[in-house]
Amino acid sequence: MHKLSSLISKYCKIFSIACLVFSSLFLFVFNGYSQSPELKKSSVLFANENFQEIERILGDAFTHARNYPPEFNSEIQREDLERDLKKIISQLEQMIKDSSSDKEILFKLGAANTFAFNLDIPGSREKADEYFKQLFQLESNHGEGHLFYGQHLSGRGEFELAISHLQMAADAQLDIALSMIGLVYIQMGKKDEAKTYFQKFLNKYPGDSQTQMMLDSLESSGAYELKSMHQ
């Protein structure tokens, strides 16, 4: 029993490190996309006087509710975000009625509903699936969409589907997806596959010390031993 507890403790530690590393990198991608020239072509969004407020709330939601369970300093903070998130989802849904082919609104609706899902808001899972589906119908290789949806699916435990979307993000030159695939394989208890994808990322960014730390921790001779959570 002590050995099992030790293995679980090591697993949780390596997973926690991975989450910290890749959440910060994912935040960089998310913020970069929010300021991208492509996004600024969305006339419906930028014509809306509440655009800056929508951006602010989505940023807050990313900070507190991109993972499950969400993290807040107080219950009041959580209640405020839930209220604000429901409000902007309603606003974005009204916008999409006026411009059903606006990819950026669909992306934001998909993202907003992944946050809502982590806040246990009813119907958000189905909405996230539907809006990302519509987005990919308009642009099958929407890299940021695949990255965001893949991360969301991994949080739902749909690992194989998550990997397929993250691979499409990687194919769209979003290299952070390679490391995120490695993280999904850690969740699946597949050490060798995780090592392969961390190494792919390191081949592109050989100076990345955090990913190197993750790879080293998965080596049989390293500090941690990885076991499947199903064993």
Give me the amino acid identity at 58.
L
Rounded distance, CA 115 to CA 78, Å?
A: 12
Taking 60 as the threshold, does the pLDDT of residue 206 lie above it? Answer: yes
Residue 143 φ then ψ, to 5° = -60, -50
Mean pLDDT to the nearest integer, 184-195: 94
Residue 62 placed within a domain: yes
- pLDDT for 122 equals 97
Domain count, the chain: 1
Residue 214 placed within a domain: no
Residue 10 placed within a domain: no
Q: For residue 223, what pLDDT band results from cuts at 50, 70 and 90?
A: very low
Residue 89 placed within a domain: yes
Give me the amino acid identity at 227.
K
Rounded distance, CA 37 to CA 198, Å?
A: 30
Taking 90 as the threshold, does the pLDDT of residue 201 lie above it? Answer: yes
Report pTM: 0.80
Directed axis angle between helix 143-155 and helix 159-171, to 10°? Answer: 160
Contact 85, 103 (CB under 8 A): no
Rounded distance, CA 69 to CA 10, Å?
A: 20
Mean pLDDT to the nearest integer, 167-177: 96
Taking 90 as the threshold, does the pLDDT of residue 189 lie above it? Answer: yes
Residue 231 placed within a domain: no
Contact 103, 41 (CB under 8 A): no
Rounded distance, CA 17 to CA 174, Å?
A: 21
Residue 228 placed within a domain: no
Residue 200 placed within a domain: no
- pLDDT tens, position by position, 62-81: 999 998 999 999 999 999 99
Residue listed under structure tokens 């909405």: 127
Q: Provide the token pair at 112.
A: 């907003």
Residue 25 placed within a domain: no
- pLDDT for 51 equals 83
Q: For residue 101, what pLDDT band results from cuts at 50, 70 and 90?
A: confident
Structural domain span for residue 128: 44-139
Rounded distance, CA 150 to CA 110, Å?
A: 12
